């Protein structure tokens, strides 16, 4: 109980203040992403509220914030458009939104299963260059997303701010950033981000400046404001199911993509917050919490989402380390929707842009410029590629491509490094001491190490510094033994680990007669499951 309380409340004052700061930052983000997806802003706000509340209470990373995100919004939009098109043919309004809610049920189920099958641990396999590329690319994406705030909608078209409007906007952004930079040098008693937002808002209201506010931003995007009620149960989803007939493939494929994007972004953010706080979260528990939150969103009419790196960094940097910070952010957001709409709508967008620009500065791995010439060229290519693909496509594709590039580089390096030291024992047996893993990349090189024709009648293949890693390795070893048997020579396999013995015998029981078990065998263990601590 004490451990749970410590995780729930890191530092009460800091958690409450940082949570309130995050709630303010969640509003324009949720609204903007709702517009990207082509749905009502309230759906985005409800989605952010439910994501933040459930993942804060039950997730694997105290202090991490979840909500409606752009990465998932750009995937949703195609399904929503398709649903609306079908709905127009059937005379049904907003059918795409109903399709989204049904899709979120599948998303939630997939993510929960990922957690139950402990797939969250695989995020630990993401190489450091991929992680650096991820944070750099994400910083650039956050920066570019804020540039849209420097526009206004005139006659249905977005135009860039200019003249006095632009100067005012830039001045307010700069003032926000200056407060966030200077205040921590004077005192850390209050969150700098919250102070900056309140000070800039007070200046704008007191001076009567005409600038874009949260309220005007919503109305320019086609919304009617923040006024709304509590999320309601979507009791009519069953009546929508017949409309999906013939489109289930699109619904399921979108669900799988949304689940993958959500988990990758959430687990990568978890890793980043782990580094910032020097603590360790649970990837598997986070998968289950993310899935549960998306499932609830599907049932109660929210947009769904995943972890938000910008808001998570704001929270952590403002002192929010416990689950209470996320709960306060969620309840604060709901309070804005229910009671504080008129106040929140007066907050200038410039103040929130300034906060996000400071997040960009804090997120970008500036050290990458210093080390890029010092690390291996292949790692530098991976870092740059992941950054570029994150900006060009999306996070999920960038991470997958980065991991594949790193894996291919690792496979190639190990493929060319396999060695076989040779020696003759006193009884005339020739020993091949294998060094390096035997896997698909090294099998060809492995086969060239043996001189079957000229070797003596007794041959020993020693695996004390090697292991058989996959089916290709098994087949290569089987073929080598057969080559010796064809010329009536005996082969003995020594120093195989228990794991290697098991996979060889499982693949072909005949291997057992060639394995020497009287020598001390090496043991290899995997620590991933033990290290995936539950919090």
Residue of 352 and 177 predicted with greater confidence: 177
User: What tokens were used for 508?
Assistant: 């072909």
User: Which of 204, 266, 242, 213 is closest to 86 using CA atoms?
Assistant: 242
- As a whole number, mean pLDDT of residues 391-417 equals 84
What confidence score (pLDDT) does residue 517 get? 65
Min mean pLDDT across 67-71, 172-176, 179-183, 319-323 is at 67-71
Bridge partners for 419 per DSSP: 435
Question: Cα angle at 132 between 130 and 133, to 5 degrees?
Answer: 60
What is the Cα–Cα distance from 60 to 289, expressed in whole angstroms? 8
- As a whole number, mean pLDDT of residues 270-285 equals 88
Number of neighbours of residue 151 by Cβ within 10 angstroms: 14
Bridge partners for 154 per DSSP: 157
Question: Which of the four pLDDT bands, split at 50, 70 and 90, describes residue 73?
Answer: confident
Contact call for residues 221 and 215 (beta carbons, < 8 A): no
- As a whole number, mean pLDDT of residues 139-145 equals 84
Question: Mind listing the pLDDT tens digit for each residue in 243-255?
Answer: 999 899 999 999 9
Q: What is the DSSP letter of 228?
A: -
What confidence score (pLDDT) does residue 526 get? 44
Report the chain's mean pLDDT, rounded to a whole number: 87
- DSSP codes, 84-101: HHHHHHHT-TTHHHHHHH
Bridge partners for 458 per DSSP: 490
Contact call for residues 446 and 440 (beta carbons, < 8 A): no
Number of neighbours of residue 450 by Cβ within 10 angstroms: 19
Question: Mind listing the pLDDT tens digit for each residue in 4-63?
Answer: 555 576 688 889 999 998 998 888 778 877 877 878 888 999 999 999 999 999 999 999
Bridge partners for 420 per DSSP: 434
User: Which of 193, 159, 161 is closest to 179 using CA atoms?
Assistant: 193
Fold of 418-514: Transcription Regulator spoIIAA (3.30.750)
Signed CA dihedral, 254, 131, 176, 147: sign only: negative
- As a whole number, mean pLDDT of residues 252-269 equals 90
User: What tokens were used for 334?
Assistant: 């709901």
What confidence score (pLDDT) does residue 531 get? 44
Residue ranges per structural domain of the chain? 2-161+212-339, 418-514
- DSSP codes, 96-149: HHHHHHHHHHHHHHHHHHHHHTTGGGGGGGS-HHHHHHHHHHHHHHHHHHHHGG
What is the Cα–Cα distance from 195 to 193, expressed in whole angstroms? 5
User: Which of 169, 179, 144 is closest to 364 using CA atoms?
Assistant: 144
CA 495 → CA 148, 181, 419, 481, distances in Å? 63, 60, 16, 16
Contact call for residues 337 and 49 (beta carbons, < 8 A): yes
**Does the pLDDT of residue 123 top 80, yes or no?**
no
What confidence score (pLDDT) does residue 434 get? 94
Contact call for residues 286 and 115 (beta carbons, < 8 A): yes
Question: Mind listing the pLDDT tens digit for each residue in 329-355?
Answer: 999 999 988 888 788 888 899 988 888
User: What tokens were used for 249?
Assistant: 């493939």
What is the Cα–Cα distance from 58 to 245, expressed in whole angstroms? 35
What is the Cα–Cα distance from 523 to 262, expressed in whole angstroms? 37
Q: Which residues, other chains included, contact 308 with Cβ-Cβ below 8 Å and sequence gap of 6+?
A: 26, 29, 65, 66, 67, 69, 269
Distance of CA 294 to the CA centre of its chain: 15
**Does the pLDDT of residue 182 top 50, yes or no?**
yes
Burial (CB count within 10 angstroms: exposed 0-12, middle 13-18, buried 19+), residue 472: middle
Contact call for residues 478 and 472 (beta carbons, < 8 A): no
User: What tokens were used for 178?
Assistant: 């200056």
What are the b/e assignments for 156-172, b being 16+ CB within 10 Å? Answer: eeeeebeeeeeebbeeb
């Amino acid at each position: 109980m004490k451990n749970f309380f410590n995780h729930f409340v890191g530092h009460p004052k800091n958690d409450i203040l940082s949570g309130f700061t995050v709630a303010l930052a969640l509003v324009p983000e949720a609204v903007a992403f709702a517009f990207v997806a082509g749905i009502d802003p309230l759906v985005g706000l409800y989605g952010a509220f439910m994501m933040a509340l459930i993942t804060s209470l039950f997730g694997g990373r105290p202090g991490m914030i979840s909500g409606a995100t752009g990465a998932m919004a750009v995937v949703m939009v195609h399904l929503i458009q398709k649903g609306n098109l079908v709905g127009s043919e059937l005379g049904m309004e907003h059918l795409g939104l109903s399709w989204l809610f049904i899709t979120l049920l599948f998303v939630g189920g997939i993510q929960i299963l990922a957690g139950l099958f402990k797939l969250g641990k695989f995020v630990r396999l993401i190489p450091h260059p991929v992680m650096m590329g991820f944070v750099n690319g994400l910083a650039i994406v956050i920066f570019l997303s804020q540039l849209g705030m420097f526009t206004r909608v005139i006659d249905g078209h977005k135009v860039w701010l200019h003249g006095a409007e632009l100067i005012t906007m830039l001045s307010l952004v700069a003032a926000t950033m200056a407060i966030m930079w200077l205040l921590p040098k004077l005192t850390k008693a209050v969150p700098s981000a919250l102070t900056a937002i309140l000070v800039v808002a007070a200046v704008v209201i007191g001076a009567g400046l005409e600038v874009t506010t949260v309220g005007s931003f919503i109305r320019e995007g086609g919304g009617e404001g923040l006024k709304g009620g509590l999320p309601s149960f979507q009791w009519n989803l069953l009546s929508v199911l017949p409309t999906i007939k013939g489109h289930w493939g699109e619904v399921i494929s979108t669900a799988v993509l949304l689940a993958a994007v959500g988990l990758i972004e959430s687990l990568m953010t978890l890793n980043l917050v782990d580094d910032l706080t020097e603590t360790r979260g649970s990837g598997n528990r986070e998968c289950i919490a993310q899935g549960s939150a998306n499932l609830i969103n599907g049932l109660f009419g929210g947009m769904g989402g995943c972890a938000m790196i910008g808001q998570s960094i704001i929270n952590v940097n403002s002192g929010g380390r416990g689950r209470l910070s996320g709960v306060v952010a969620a309840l604060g957001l709901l309070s804005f929707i229910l009671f504080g709409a008129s106040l929140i709508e007066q907050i200038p967008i410039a103040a929130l842009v300034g906060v996000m620009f400071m997040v960009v500065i804090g997120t970008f791995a500036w050290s990458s410029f210093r080390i890029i010439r010092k690390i291996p060229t292949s790692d530098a290519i991976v870092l740059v590629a992941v950054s570029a693909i994150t900006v060009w496509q999306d996070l999920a594709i960038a991470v997958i491509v980065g991991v594949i590039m790193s894996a291919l580089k690792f496979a190639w390096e190990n493929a060319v490094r396999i060695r076989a030291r040779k020696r003759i024992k006193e009884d005339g047996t020739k020993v091949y001491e294998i060094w390096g893993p035997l896997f698909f990349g090294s099998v060809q090189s492995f086969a060239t190490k043996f001189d079957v024709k000229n070797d003596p009648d007794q041959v020993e293949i020693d695996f004390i510094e090697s292991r058989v890693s996959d089916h290709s390795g098994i087949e290569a070893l089987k073929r080598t033994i057969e080559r010796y048997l064809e010329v009536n020579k005996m082969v003995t396999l020594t120093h195989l680990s228990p794991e290697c013995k098991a996979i060889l015998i499982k693949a072909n029981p005949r291997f057992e007669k060639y394995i020497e078990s009287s020598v001390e065998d090496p043991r290899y263990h995997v620590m991933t499951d033990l290290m995936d601590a539950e919090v």
